[in-house]
């Protein structure tokens, strides 16, 4: 597991162990990676973060167009693997969680422990720390900076 | 969720000692319908009930006995009943330990029959 | 305990040649931190290859981890250094029993009894194993005889068809005692033990998060068959099965008695 924010590590470790997910990724709504577990290549993290942020953004836009309020989790259930993607509010803005899980767990278990992960993150987030605005023009730099921190490159 | 499912679940929670009754998707472990007497962890109960049922299905498959029709998990602070609730569904009840096990068992089997 | 471990860890860090690794690894083992305990003990045993107690500690940790082959090697090393090491004879007796080598198990227990003649549990274990060996020799169906130690008292004297198939296995899915057969008579003991190994942790997690306390039993109805799953000890699981003609309440009593016998057997054999 690699994290940019040290206080994220304990809640995410607990989530991975309890929910028995194979891959977990926490990112901001702009795709800036905060922590990852289970990825072995930086390219995979970059792709997952970009796609995850994009899916959440487009789902929100659809909800807005339909005047449907907000959608919750986005779930894709395949025969061997499932993907759970869920935006949630943190003190500094919206974050997105992405989890990939296999038949050794279930959507209900993942959803249950994701709720606990969010509670833990909100509780442990430093309140006084200034939140850095992630501007569109710095997106790529932020992403690369995150990846360097996560993979030691 | 239909009013018929809600009525069936409400009938189960009327039994003394039953804290909540749920209809759960067997594969996902998600709550389909619920009736709770008080603030219960219904989301957790659904997730774990489906997981336990899946794990114990391996037992009956291995020993070539028919699929599980009823499962009762007994603990120091309460009990978890699980029964098949039709296609891809489970009926789940959380009760105290002073409940009449036979009555809850029959009520769940009856509920499963009414929903199927 | 935590303070002790911290101070012993500090002492070992300051002086890697210190023998404090022995109590430190033992404390970690007792706390269930088996990987950490093994690291400490294995380093100590490598530094002091002639120290029998270091190898004995490694063996006990490996046994706790379910690594029977590694435990066997470590206890064999102990006996090369100290042929009369009581703990090594007991440990090898247990491992031999687990692998079905009853003769070797009795041999190690007998030597242990010579070294500790007042230990009545050793005498009891030898007697049980000898009875089991004699029954096996007489029987054309060894698995049936293997069921004896945990067969409920209520089943004694009953024809085999009315007895309670009972399986005792550890949390790693390895059969310790008894057999379960499929309807067509094929032995399914190993498959059942492997399938149910993680159920205890699953049940424990469920009851913890649902505020139901400690789990005690899982009763399963499956057509014409009822099952009851118990945990005689934190490391073991016991499954009993009977036809539906045995009411659930009676099966629970049968399971109670099987649990008692399993606990007694486990105490005797270790």
Q: Parse chain C into domains and list their residue ranges.
A: 2-135, 143-269
Q: What is the mean pLDDT of residues A107-121?
A: 94
* CA nearest neighbour of B76 among A71, A122, C216, C4: C216
DSSP classification of residue A139: H
* Burial bucket for residue C9 (CB in 10 Å: 0-12, 13-18, 19+): middle
Q: Which residues of A touch B24 (CB under 8 A)?
A: 108
Specify whether the backbone of C12 is left (phi greater than 0), alpha (psi in -120 to 50) or beta.
alpha
Residue A47 CA, distance from chain mean position: 13
**Does B46 sit within 8 Å of A105, measured CB to CB?**
no
> What is the average pLDDT value for chain C, to the nearest integer?
81
Helix (H, G, I), strand (E, B) or coil at A23: strand
Confidence of residue A149 (pLDDT cuts 50, 70, 90): low
Helix (H, G, I), strand (E, B) or coil at B68: coil
> What is the average pLDDT value for chain A, to the nearest integer?
81
Q: Does the pLDDT value for residue A91 go beyond 90?
A: no
* A35 beta partners: A3, A26
Cβ atoms A145, A61 nearer than 8 A? no
Confidence of residue A133 (pLDDT cuts 50, 70, 90): very low
Domain A2-145, CATH class in plain words: alpha beta
Match 């060894």 to its residue by tokens.
C142
Cβ atoms C72, C94 nearer than 8 A? no
pLDDT digits (tens, 9 = 90+) for C75-133: 988 888 888 898 898 888 888 777 777 778 888 888 888 888 888 778 877 877 777 77
pLDDT digits (tens, 9 = 90+) for C199-234: 888 898 889 888 899 999 999 998 888 999 999 998
Contacts of A101 (CB under 8 A, 6+ apart): A19, A20, A21, A22, A81, A82, A84, A107, A110
CA distance A27 to B111: 44
Cβ atoms C172, C66 nearer than 8 A? yes
Q: Which residues of B touch A115 (CB under 8 A)?
A: 43
SS3 per-residue string spanning chain C:
CHHHHHHHHHHHHHCCCCCCHHHHHHHHHHCCCHHHHHHHHHHHHHHCCCCHHHHHHHHHHHHHCCCHHHHHHHHHHHHHHCCCCHHHHHHHHHHHHHCCCHHHHHHHHHHHHHHCCCCHHHHHHHHHHHHHHHHHHHCCCHHHHHCHHHCCHHHCCCCHHHCCCEEEEECCCCEEEECCECCCCCECHHHHHHHHCCHHHHHHHHHHHCCCCCEEEEEEEECCEEEEEECCCCCEEEEEEEECCCCHHHHHHHHHHHHHHHHHHHHHHC
CA distance B64 to B55: 15
Cβ atoms B59, C196 nearer than 8 A? yes
Q: Which residues of B touch A111 (CB under 8 A)?
A: 30, 43, 47
Which residue from A106, A111, A115 is facing B51, i.e. has the nearest CB?
A: A106
User: Does CATH number 3.30.450.30 belong to domain C143-269?
Assistant: yes
Q: Does the pLDDT value for residue A12 go beyond 80?
A: yes
Element (H, E) at A77: strand A74-77
CA distance B19 to B80: 10
For residue B42, the enclosing domain spans 3-115
Q: What pLDDT sits at residue A16?
A: 93
CA distance C40 to C35: 9
**Does B43 sit within 8 Å of A108, measured CB to CB?**
yes
Q: Which of B24, B42, B44 best tests the A interface by mutation, with the highest count of A CBs <10 A?
A: B44
Q: Which residues of C touch B94 (CB under 8 A)?
A: 210, 212
Q: Does the pLDDT value for residue C156 go beyond 50?
A: no
Q: What is the mean pLDDT of residues B51-59?
A: 89
**Does B65 sit within 8 Å of C199, measured CB to CB?**
no
Residue C122 CA, distance from chain mean position: 16
Q: What is the CATH number assigned to the segment(s) C2-135?
A: 1.25.40.10
CATH code, domain carrying B48: 3.30.450.30
Per the structure, the count of domains in chain B is 1
* Burial bucket for residue C136 (CB in 10 Å: 0-12, 13-18, 19+): middle
């Amino acid at each position: 597991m690699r994290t940019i924010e040290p206080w994220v590590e304990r809640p995410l470790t607990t989530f991975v162990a309890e929910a028995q997910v194979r891959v977990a990724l926490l990112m901001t709504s702009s795709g800036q990676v905060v922590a990852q577990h289970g990825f072995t290549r930086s390219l995979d993290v970059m792709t997952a973060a970009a796609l995850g942020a994009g899916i959440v953004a487009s789902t929100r836009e659809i909800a807005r167009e339909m005047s449907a309020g907000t959608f919750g989790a986005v779930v894709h259930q395949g025969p061997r693997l499932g993907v759970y993607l869920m935006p949630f509010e943190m003190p500094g803005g919206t974050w997105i969680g992405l989890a990939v899980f296999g038949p050794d767990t279930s959507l209900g278990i993942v959803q249950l422990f994701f709720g606990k992960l969010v509670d833990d993150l909100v509780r442990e987030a430093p309140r006084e720390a200034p939140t850095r605005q992630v501007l569109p023009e710095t997106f790529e730099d932020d992403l690369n900076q995150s990846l360097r921190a996560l993979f030691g490159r | 969720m239909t009013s018929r499912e809600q009525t069936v679940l409400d009938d189960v929670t009327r039994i003394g000692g039953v804290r909540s009754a749920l209809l759960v998707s067997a594969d996902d472990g998600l709550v389909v319908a619920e009736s709770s007497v008080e603030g219960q962890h219904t989301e957790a109960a659904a997730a774990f009930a489906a997981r336990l049922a899946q794990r114990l299905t391996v037992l009956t498959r291995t020993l070539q006995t028919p699929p599980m029709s009823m499962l009762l998990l007994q603990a120091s602070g309460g009990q978890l009943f699980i029964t098949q609730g039709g296609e891809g569904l489970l009926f789940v009840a959380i009760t105290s330990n002073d409940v009449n096990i036979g009555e809850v068992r029959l009520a769940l089997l009856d509920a499963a029959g009414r929903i199927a | 305990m935590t303070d002790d471990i911290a101070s012993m860890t500090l002492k070992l860090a300051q002086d890697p040649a210190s023998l404090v690794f022995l109590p430190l690894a033992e404390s970690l083992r007792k706390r269930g931190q088996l990987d950490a305990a093994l690291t400490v003990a294995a380093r100590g045993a490598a530094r002091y290859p002639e120290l029998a107690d270091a190898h004995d500690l490694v063996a006990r940790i490996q046994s706790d981890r379910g690594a029977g082959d590694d435990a066997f090697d470590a206890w064999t090393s102990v006996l090369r250094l100290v042929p009369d090491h009581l703990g090594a004879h007991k440990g090898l007796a247990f491992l031999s029993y687990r692998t079905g080598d009853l003769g070797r198990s009795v041999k190690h227990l007998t030597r242990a009894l010579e070294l500790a003649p007042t230990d009545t549990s050793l005498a009891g274990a030898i007697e049980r194993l000898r009875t089991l060996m004699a029954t096996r020799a007489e029987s054309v169906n060894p698995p049936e005889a293997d069921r004896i130690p945990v067969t409920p008292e209520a089943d004694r004297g009953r024809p085999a068809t009315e007895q309670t198939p009972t399986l005792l296995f550890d949390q790693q899915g390895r059969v310790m005692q008894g057999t379960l057969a499929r309807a067509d008579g094929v032995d399914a003991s190993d498959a059942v033990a492997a399938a149910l190994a993680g159920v205890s942790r699953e049940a424990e997690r469920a009851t913890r998060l649902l505020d139901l306390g400690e789990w005690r039993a899982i009763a399963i109805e499956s057509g014409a068959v009822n099952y009851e799953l118990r945990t005689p000890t934190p490391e073991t699981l016991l499954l009993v099965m009977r036809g539906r003609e045995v009411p659930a309440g009676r099966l629970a009593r049968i399971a109670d008695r099987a649990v008692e016998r399993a606990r007694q057997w486990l105490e005797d054999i270790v």
